[in-house]
Amino acid sequence: MRLVLAEDNALLRAGLTQLLESRGFTILHAIDHAADLSAALADPAAEAAVLDVRMPPTFTDEGLRAAIEARTARPGFPVMVLSQYVESLYARELFASGTGAVGYLLKDRVADVAEFADGVRRVAAGGTVLDPEVVAAVMARRREEPVERLTPREREVLAQMAEGRSNAAIAQRLSVTEKAVAKHINAIFTKLDLPVDEDDHRRVRAVLAWLRV
């Protein structure tokens, strides 16, 4: 799989390149400045991107803006965003840019090589991955809205969905059966007023509803 990698720190960029290539990815473009990012993301050979949120010249949200622009130009283009800090607003904006194929992880998560590489693959396959710390931050800022209709267990399941976990993985994580997870997910869809559709689309819309504050 051919990736665009954007990270201004030379040491981290080299480390990410080595890590991803060791897991079977090809780094098509390794970018260190936002000025070069749009052209790299427009390369039709690029199949996905791993981007730092904050890039030169201003170190604010250049990477995020480039990701959203890329997904506007190429709907569904897979993007994994990396950040040093928990920024739930960034996560909401990214998830609102389309249906699936997005991820938001803290850079500390890269230390778990297998988990990070698996997250990139899930995003590239059209899934969603959200860092547990971002999940916690969003949970702490919930207001009265449809999500508040959910039971504590349903919120746990939805939080696991936001992290990109499958039904089987959620069942294992919560020590329940897959049948129980499926029942909770159907209840979530009903309480969030999500009509019958392709399950993947409803999962993404459920996560978006949960992220929205």
Beta bridge partners of 31: 6
pLDDT tens, position by position, 60-73: 889 988 999 999 99
First to last CA, the chain: 35
User: 146: how many CB neighbours lie within 10 A of its CB?
Assistant: 14
Q: What is the percentage of the chain residues whose pLDDT exceeds 70?
A: 91
Nearest of 104, 84, 91, 64 to residue 12 by alpha carbon: 84
Amino acid identity, position 56: P
Domain shared by 86 and 187, yes or no: no
Q: Per the domain annotation, does 116 fall within a domain?
A: yes
Q: Whole domain around residue 205: which residue ranges?
A: 142-211
* pLDDT at position 200: 55
* pLDDT at position 79: 95
pLDDT tens, position by position, 116-130: 999 999 999 998 888
**Residue ending a domain, choose from 73, 108, 130:** 130
Q: Per the domain annotation, does 126 fall within a domain?
A: yes
For residues 25 and 117, what is the distance between their CA atoms, to the nearest angstrom?
Answer: 9
Residue 27 has pLDDT above 80, yes or no: yes
**Token digits of residue 71:** 């997904």
User: 41: how many CB neighbours lie within 10 A of its CB?
Assistant: 23
